[in-house]
Amino acid sequence: MTDNYELLTEASAATYIGNQPGLCRLIDPATTTSSEIGDGNLNLVFVCTDAQGRSLVLKQSLPYVRIVGPDWPLTADRSTYEAIGLRVAADASPQTAPIFYGYDRSQHVLAMEDLSHLTVWRTALNDGQINSGAADIVGAHVARTAFATSVLGRSNEDFRLAIADSTNPHMCRITEDLVFTEPLTDHEHNEFSSELRDFVVTLTSDRRLTAEVTRLKTEYMTRCEALVHGDFHTGSFMIGEGPSPELKAIDAEFSAYGPIGFDLGMLIGNINFAHARAVALGREEQASWLVEFPARMWLAFAQEFTKLWPERIDPLVDDGYRDVWLARIQSDAIGFAGCESVRRIVGFAKVSDIEDLPPSEHLLAARTVLNVAHRLLTDPPAQIDDTMFS
Ligand code: SR1
Ligand code: MG
């Protein structure tokens, strides 16, 4: 699945930079020191800083899933798709993407802006942070990247070529298995406390729910509307402080063409976790903000999409179709939020929002998340509104 290449270390990162003329213009390799800070599920991440304080990040794919080890091999070519996703976001929405310095395909290394002055969004949420304008920022980000990569922003030929270039089969397969299939089957990846067993079995064997997840999985696999980020959870963002924070989407190795509502739904699912945590910990102000988050993000998305609409390339995409499309994106997002909510409680790659809670709060929060998911998948609201987490 993967070729031979050399894994970077804290000691070798400066030498690597020294061999890359494009990077030597940004940072002095002779005085560079590096520190490996990767805390995600998959990759190596090095923050490299020189004596003048200039810095950048090198991200390298490991040939396996980091949190499991070599027993779960994984194509290092995922960085090729991450490069596509990062370039698209940097072009279409530079305010919400890291500056992208380049990609070395032979070594599976991406070079980008150092964002270590920011915090992983999930960590900030877990600590109780509130950023009132974050939903507006993310909604507009999704609209801009979706518009730019769909038939609205690309010529017919470029659109089809882009689908082919970003097909990303191995990473999409992970999503197909982990987000949709495994949580609803008797899979070894599934793990949850014994007190939840009866509840989980009842929920995941509800035929209305399994039918809806099957439908959504097929939509994810077949409806190539735009380049989606593909792993749009709160661990895939870096955030600053304040009402209108610096907010950057990172970790785009799951990029592929798919339904535009997929990213919106992933994020709503993760806001569901943050909300359940806030409620379990009695953080009322944070919980109220998070209840309003999905509708506010949706509004920002729809407004930005509508603002961009007059710039569309294909003259046959008429104004009436915009509202049809928006309605479908909205209903997709509700369903995908349900899938992500089930998956992170039942299946692989749990989230610290829920897992780090003390046992009794953990149980309460997990049940709350699953109840919300069940409703989103079997009796969905007509629109994304403030009742989604009720
Ligand atoms: C094997 S990868 C597990 C999960 O980590 C990533 O962040 C994605 O969410 C993926 O599903
Ligand atoms: Mg990630």
DSSP letter for each residue of 318-380 = -HHHHHHHHHHHHHHHHHHHHHHHHHHHHSSS--HHHHTS-HHHHHHHHHHHHHHHHHHHHS-
pLDDT tens column, 364-374? 999 999 999 99
* pTM strictly above 0.75: yes
Tens digits of per-residue pLDDT, 54-98? 999 999 999 999 999 999 999 999 999 999 999 999 999 999 999
Any alpha helices (H) in the chain, and if so which ranges?
A: 13-18, 21-24, 78-92, 121-126, 134-149, 156-165, 169-175, 197-204, 207-222, 261-280, 284-308, 319-346, 352-355, 359-378
How much is the pLDDT for 126?
98
The arithmetic mean of pLDDT across residues 128-137, rounded, is 98
Other CB atoms within 10 A of residue 87 CB: 16
Query: Is residue 2 pLDDT above 70, yes or no?
Result: no
- Which residue has its alpha carbon closest to ligand 1 atom 8? 231
pLDDT tens track for 171-216: 999 999 999 999 999 999 999 999 999 999 999 999 999 999 999 9
The domain locations on the chain are 13-112, 119-378
pLDDT reported for residue 40: 85
For residue 4, what pLDDT is reported?
Answer: 84
Q: Is 90 in the pocket of ligand 1 (CB under 6 A)?
A: no
Please give the pLDDT value at position 389.
97
Q: What is the CATH number of domain 119-378?
A: 3.90.1200.10
76 lines ligand 1 (CB under 6 A): no
Q: Which atom of ligand 1 is nearest to the CA of 42?
A: 2
Please report which confidence band the pLDDT of residue 318 belongs to, taking 50, 70 and 90 as the band edges: confident
Sign of CA dihedral 163, 165, 166, 167: positive
Q: How far apart are CA 353 and CA 129, in angstroms?
A: 13
**Nearest-atom index, ligand 1, CA of 175:** 11
For residue 1, the model assigns a pLDDT of 44
Distance (Å, whole) CA 367 – CA 203: 11
Which tens digits make up the pLDDT trace of 236-256? 999 999 999 999 999 999 999
- Taking the CA of 64 as reference, the closest ligand is 1
- Mean pLDDT computed over 12-38: 97
Closest ligand 1 atom to Cα of 65: 1
Name the residue of 39, 42, 64, 340 whose CB sits within 8 Å of the most ligand 1 atoms, as the mutation to test its pocket. Answer: 42
CA of 68 to the centre of ligand 1 (A): 11
Mean pLDDT of the chain, nearest integer:
97
Q: Per CATH, which fold does 13-112 belong to?
A: Phosphorylase Kinase; domain 1 (3.30.200)
What's the rounded Cα separation, in Å, for the pair 164 and 343? 28
* pLDDT-above-70 percentage for the chain: 99
pLDDT tens for each residue of 275-306: 999 999 999 999 999 999 999 999 999 999 99
38 close to ligand 1 (CB < 6 Angstrom): no
Q: Which ligand neighbours the alpha carbon of 69 most closely?
A: 1
Counting from 1 in the atom list of ligand 1, the atom nearest the Cα of 348 is: 3
Q: Which atom of ligand 1 is nearest to the CA of 236?
A: 7
Say if residue 136's pLDDT is above 70.
Answer: yes
Ligand 1 close to Cβ of residue 349 (< 6 A): yes
